[in-house]
Structure 1
Amino acid sequence: MVIDCNRSAEFDDDTKLELINEALSMVDEPTRNLYKFNLYDRKKLFEKAGYDIGLTDPIDYINNLGYKNIFRFIQTHPHLDHFKGMNDLFESFSVWNIWCIKNNFTMDLTKLNDSEKVDWALLKKFRDTNERKIENTTIVRPYAGHSRDFWREDNITVLSPTPELVKLAQEKENRNIMSYVLLVEHGGHKLIFGGDAEKETWEYILDNYEEKIKNVTVIDASHHGRDSGYYQPAVKVMNPEYVVVSVGKKPSTDATNKYKQYARNVWSTRWKGNITFTINSDGSGSYDTQYDR
C-alpha cells in the first residue's frame, strides 16, 4: 500500500520558506545578514543550521525494497504535493487498485510544469471516470465506515471522508477537509495515517469513532505536522506513543510541541530521514531511523 506520492527534488514554496525561517533562527547574526544581502546561498544556510538531509525519491525507495507491484495506491486528496510523480509511479510499477474519491476541484494549468500536467491528467482520469477499471487498475472509492467492504485481508478502517465532508471541502474550497484518514490495526497495535485532515475532519472522526481511535501506537501527523492539522481533542483520545511529522519544527506553523503533550516520541523526517516501523502479528516490533538525530 502506498499513500500519496510526491516525487520532487525541490521543496514546495511553503516548505522552503518555513525551512529558511527556521534555519535563520538557528544561525548567528553575521550569517543572517549575509543571507539577507544574497551573499550566502540557501544550501550553505541549511548546512550551517544542521539541516542537510536530502529528500528521498519514493520510486527509488520502493524499488530498493524489491517490490514490482503495488496492491493499492491511495490518493488522499487533490493537492499537488500528494500526487506529484503519480504518473511515474504508475509507469514504474503495476498498480492493482487505486482509492480516489470523486470531487470537483480543479488545477490552474498555467502554474504546472509539463510533468505535473501529466500527473494531474492521470489523477483526473481515475477520479472522473464511471468505469470500474482502467487498464489493469481497479478503481475503488471507499468512504468512512467501509471497513472490509472492498477487501478482507487488511484490517483497515476508513475514518474519513464522507460524502458530506467532500461537499463541505468543495463549499469551503479547502481540499484538506476531504482527505482520507485511515486506521490500520495489526498485532494489537493501531496506526493512523492522517493525510491533510483539518478540524472539520477530526471533529467528524471523534464524534463517530472515538472508541476506535483510542490509544494509538503511531500517528502519521496530519498536514505534515502543521498546526492546521492538529486537533487537540482527537490527539488526546488517540494518546499516541509515536508521532511522525514531516515539517517540524517551526513555532509559527508547526504543532510538534503540542503533540509532545500527549506523545512520548515526536519525530520529524526532516531530521530523522526515513522512519520505518515493523510490527509483527504477535505484537512485537521495532523501529529504525535513517539518521540518529
Structure 2
Amino acid sequence: YIDVGQGDCELIVAGDTRVLIDCGEAEYSGRVINYISRLGFRRLDYIIATHPHDDHIGGMAAIMEEFSVGKVIMPEIPDSILPTSRHFEEMLDVIGSKNITAEYSRTGTEIKLDSGAVLRIIAPVHSDYSSLNNFSIACRLVHGNRSFLFTGDIERAAENDIVNSAEYLKSDVLKVAHHGSTSSSTPAFLEAVMPEYAVIEVGEGNSYGHPKPEVVKRLNSLGAQILTTMECGNIVFVSDGEQLTIHTDNGITDRTEEAA
C-alpha cells in the first residue's frame, strides 16, 4: 500500500508477477515510479485501474510510459457518467501509443499469479450504477491461508451487491473503500469481510475529514487493527501463505501473525 496522500495505490508482488492497482494523483507518479524501480522491477504484468477518478489513476500515464506493461484492466462504464479528465485521456493515449493490451474487467475472472496466489475480480456486480465510484473494480487476493480485499471507491450500493452475490469475502486485510468515507463500509459488508487489519489510504489534513469517525468505530467494534498511510507511510504485508509480516515506514506496527 504505497502512500500517495489522498489517493489509492497498491502493488502486489507474487513471485515474478507484479500487479499495480491504482496509482494516486499525477503529482505522486514520481514517488510510485521510484518505489517500483527501487525493487528492481521494469515490468508490470497487470495494471488494474479501479475507476477513472484522478486520485486513483492520475499518474497512470507516466507510470505506463516508464514501465513495460502486460495488460491493463478497467471497468466498463456508461458514457453518461464517464469523466473527461485530462489524466484519464492521457492514460488512454498511452495505452494506444504503446499498443498495450487493455480489456474491461469481468466479474468472476481469476488471475493466476506466481507462488500459487490468485486474484479474483468480484465487482462491479451490475452495470447500472448512478455513481462512478460504484463501478470500481474490487478484487480479492488469496495466497495460501491468507487473503486481501481491494475495494477501490465502492459505496453502499456496490457493497450490498457484493454481499448479496454470495462471494466469499472473509479477508485478513481489507483496503477500506473510499478512504474511510461514510459512503462506504456498511456494517453488513464489514461483517462479511471481518478483517484482521484495515488499511485506509488517506492524506494528512484532507478536506474530506477522512477517515470518518463512524467508519473507524465500526472497524474497531470488529476488532480490526487500523493502519492509515497518513500515519504509517507505506504499508507492506508479506505473506508466505501462513504467516503475515507487516512493515510500515515509521514502524507503528511490525509483527508476524500466524494464520488462524
* TM-score category of the 2 structures, normalised to the smaller one: 0.7 to 0.9
Task: Give 2:238's aligned residue.
Answer: 278
Q: Number of aligned residue pairs: give it.
A: 225
RMSD: 2.6
Output one character per residue of 1:269-293: Cα deviation in whole Å (capped at 9) or x when no partner.
1001110000013x12311010134
What pairs up with 1:11-26 in 2 under 5 angstroms? Answer: none
Output one character per residue of 1:191-247: Cα deviation in whole Å (capped at 9) or x when no partner.
00011011111111111135x112x11001100122212111011121110000023
Whether the 8 Å contact between 1:126 and 1:139 is mirrored in structure 2 is no
Secondary structure of 1:197's counterpart equals: coil
Task: Give 1:121's aligned residue.
Answer: 89
Segments of structure 1 that go 5 or more residues without pairing to the other structure are 11-54, 110-116, 128-132
Secondary structure of 1:167's counterpart equals: coil
Cα distance between partner residues in 2 of 1:205 and 1:229: 13
More off after superposition, 56-65 vs 75-84: 56-65
Output one character per residue of 1:29-71: Cα deviation in whole Å (capped at 9) or x when no partner.
xxxxxxxxxxxxxxxxxxxxxxxxxx98211111111110000
Shift of 1:82: 0.9
User: Which residue of 164, 169, 178 corresponds with 1:213?
Assistant: 169
Cα distance between partner residues in 2 of 1:252 and 1:268: 9
Secondary structure of 1:70's counterpart equals: strand
Secondary structure of 2:52's counterpart equals: coil
After TM superposition, the score normalised by the length of structure 1 is: 0.69
Cα distance between partner residues in 2 of 1:285 and 1:82: 26
Whether the 8 Å contact between 1:226 and 1:247 is mirrored in structure 2 is no
After TM superposition, the score normalised by the length of structure 2 is: 0.77
Cα distance between partner residues in 2 of 1:7 and 1:59: 13
Whether the 8 Å contact between 1:243 and 1:263 is mirrored in structure 2 is no
Instruction: Return closer, same or farther for 1:268/1:292 CA change in 2, 3 Å cut-off.
Output: same
Q: Which has the higher strand share?
A: 2
Whether the 8 Å contact between 1:8 and 1:57 is mirrored in structure 2 is no
Segments of structure 2 that go 5 or more residues without pairing to the other structure are 1-18, 253-260
Q: Percent identity?
A: 24
Matched, 1:83 2:83: no
Instruction: Return closer, same or farther for 1:120/1:233 CA change in 2, 3 Å cut-off.
Output: same
Secondary structure of 2:192's counterpart equals: helix
Compare relative contact order (CA 8 Å, sep 6+) and give the higher one, 1 or 2: 2
